[in-house]
């Protein structure tokens, strides 16, 4: 059984608040809360929220999930909160313009597999799954006025992203100010002891959540703010579905492997740190090996890709993905042997085939990839967005990018 000091040391690891005093305050409050909980014979109530703005959770989300897992391993009560109501607006914290508003139906469809995805990191037997429409959908206008009276407009407008938009003369819509209010009320509704979040959640957790809890007669939650964000496949910008630089948790093993292999070499250490949990000494050894030439960057990246696929799928899937990578990129024709087949009954446009087989997300993406020489038929680039394929030309291999293949065959 870990001591309180040991718990504090582990649970505060990797946190950053932009201010040493705030970090020290949170460390002190966490220790006090652990002592109080132990005396009361109860676990801490801990949560992190995830808005289903899209259907995919991605590797970047697992940073906070791993912190929740640490709380679970110390016996605390962990809630995986699905933001079914907050996602109708969308968090404006790190956005330079207002987000598109979703419908309840879109949110519901996106949220359908969130718990299943989260259980790739969290223990399903120890995880409470809740949705914040449970309490936010029941508030009336009088409730909203009462909650809003605890904040000034200036508190919201001084936030960096809003300040930038004001300076640039870009609009800030009134409903965007409600997001921090709603997330703050999540903490109140759950009587939370601790909320985990990323750097973009500093205001929502430290200001909105804690202030509302105090106003409602609760002890303000401890903020566990993770210090580093996982860069996307571009190696530069925080991983984001909206930017297209993400690696979905539900990606097929081969696709996940290929996406990891596409990250720049310079991003490998932070992936080893945040996803594989490398210690400072292990990271130093890795970086020294790369600098000296003792370790080859490609071999290090393939090890990273195998480990990540093994975590979210299986060791067997990781080995199969490695074999397929070797087959495509380390020799041979460049076309894997075990690609799926799809029948073609009549002449059809390439753009329509790509959409029908879900090889692209939209017709616009298909046209863009064709224009960028990213679509190949029998290893030759498709250059005409109106190009068609006839059954007489089959069998044929259609390829999108470096990792998506299908063998088209005549319909029997």
User: CA 120, CA 153: separation in Å to the nearest integer?
Assistant: 40
The Cα 231–Cα 136 span in angstroms is 32
Q: Which residue has the tokens 């409903």?
A: 175
Q: Name the CATH architecture for the domain at 341-410.
A: Roll (3.10)
Task: Name the maximum alpha-carbon separation found in the chain.
Answer: 77
Nearest-angstrom CA–CA distance, 48 and 69: 11
How far is the C-alpha of 132 from the C-alpha of 209, rounded, in Å?
Answer: 14
Tokens of 102: 């979703």
Q: What is the pLDDT of residue 90?
A: 62
Residue 167: other Cβ atoms inside 10 A: 8
Q: How far apart are CA 211 and CA 217, in angstroms?
A: 10
Cα atoms found within 13 Å of the Cα of residue 98, Cβ hemisphere only? 16
Q: What sign for the dihedral angle of Cα 353, 359, 365, 369?
A: negative
Fold of 4-225: Rossmann fold (3.40.50)
Cα angle 136-141-144, degrees, rounded to a multiple of 5: 60
CATH 1.10.240.10 segments of the chain: 253-329
Backbone angles phi, psi at 143, to 5 degrees: -65, -45
Instruction: Give phi and psi for 140, each to the nearest 5.
Output: -105, 180
Supply the pLDDT for residue 61.
94
- The three-state DSSP-derived secondary structure of the chain is CCCHHHHHHHHCCCECCCCHHHHHHHHHHHHHHHHHHHHHCCCCEEEEEECCCCCCCEHHHHHHHHHHHHHHHCCCEEEEEECCCHHHCCCCCCCCCCCCCCCHHHHHHHHCCHHHHHCCCCCCCCEEEEECHHHHCCCCHHHHHHHHCCCCHHHHHCCHHHHHHHHCCCCCCHHHHHHHHHHHHHHHHHCCCEEEECHHHHHHHHHHHHHHHHHCCCCCCEEEEECCCCECCCCCCECCCCCCCCCECCCCHHHHHHHHHCCCHHHHHHHHHHCCCCCHHHHHHHHHHHHHCCCCHHHHHHHHHHHHHHHHCCHHHHHHHHHHHHHHHCCCCCCCCCCCEEEECCCEEHHHHHHHCCCCCCHHHHHHHHHCCCEEECCEECCCCCCEECHHHCCEEEEECCCEEEEEEECC
CATH architecture of 253-329: Orthogonal Bundle (1.10)
Determine contact, residues 324/366, Cβ cutoff 8 Å. no
**Average pLDDT for runs of 10 along the chain of length 412:** 92 93 96 96 96 87 96 97 85 55 82 90 95 94 92 80 79 82 94 94 91 95 94 90 85 90 91 91 92 88 95 94 80 67 89 91 87 85 88 84 84 74
- Left if phi > 0, otherwise alpha if psi is -120 to 50, otherwise beta: which for 293? left
Q: What does the block give as tokens for 1? A: 């059984």
Residues of the chain with CATH 3.40.50.620: 4-225
pLDDT at position 177:
82
Q: What is the pLDDT of residue 25?
A: 96
- CATH 3.10.290.10 in the chain, residues? 341-410
Predicted confidence at residue 334, as pLDDT, reads: 62
Other beta carbons less than 10 A from residue 108's beta carbon: 14
pLDDT for the residue 124: 94
* pLDDT for the residue 362: 85
Q: What is the pTM of this model?
A: 0.77
């Amino acid at each position: 059984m870990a001591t309180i000091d040991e718990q504090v040391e582990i649970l505060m690891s990797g946190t950053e608040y932009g201010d040493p005093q705030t970090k020290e305050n949170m460390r002190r409050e966490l220790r006090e809360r652990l002592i109080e909980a132990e005396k009361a014979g109860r676990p801490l109530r801990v949560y992190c929220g995830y808005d289903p703005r899209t259907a995919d959770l991605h590797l970047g989300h697992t940073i906070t999930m791993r912190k929740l897992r640490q709380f679970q391993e110390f016996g605390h009560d962990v809630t995986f909160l699905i933001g079914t109501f907050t996602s109708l607006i969308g968090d404006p914290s790190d956005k330079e313009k207002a987000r598109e508003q979703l419908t309840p139906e879109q949110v519901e469809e996106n949220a359908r597999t969130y718990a299943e995805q989260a259980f790739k990191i969290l223990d399903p037997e120890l995880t409470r799954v809740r949705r914040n429409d449970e309490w936010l959908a029941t508030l009336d206008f009088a409730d909203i006025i009462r909650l809003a009276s605890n904040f000034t407009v200036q508190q919201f407008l001084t936030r960096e992203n809003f300040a930038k938009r004001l300076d640039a003369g870009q609009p800030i819509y009134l409903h965007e100010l409600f997001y921090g209010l709603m997330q703050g009320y999540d903490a109140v509704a759950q009587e939370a002891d601790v909320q985990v979040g990323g750097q973009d959640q500093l205001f929502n957790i430290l200001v909105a959540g804690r202030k509302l809890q105090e106003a409602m007669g609760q002890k303000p939650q401890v903020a566990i703010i993770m210090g580093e964000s996982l860069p996307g496949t571009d190696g530069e910008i925080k991983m984001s579905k909206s930017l297209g630089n993400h690696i979905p948790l539900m990606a097929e093993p081969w696709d996940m492997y290929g996406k990891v292999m596409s990250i720049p070499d310079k991003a490998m250490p932070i992936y080893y740190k945040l996803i594989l949990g490398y210690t400072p000494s292990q990271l130093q050894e890795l970086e020294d090996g790369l600098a000296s030439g003792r370790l080859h960057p490609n071999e290090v990246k393939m090890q990273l890709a195998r480990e990540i696929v093994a975590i979210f799928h299986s060791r067997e899937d990781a080995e199969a993905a490695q074999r397929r990578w070797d087959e495509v990129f380390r020799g041979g024709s460049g076309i894997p042997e075990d690609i799926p087949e799809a029948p073609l009954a009549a002449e059809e446009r390439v753009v329509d085939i790509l959409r029908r087989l879900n090889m692209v997300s939209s017709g616009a993406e298909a046209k863009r990839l064709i224009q960028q020489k990213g679509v190949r038929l029998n290893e030759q680039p498709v250059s005409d967005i109106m190009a068609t394929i006839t059954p007489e030309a089959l069998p044929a291999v259609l390829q999108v990018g470096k990792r998506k293949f299908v063998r088209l065959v005549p319909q029997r």
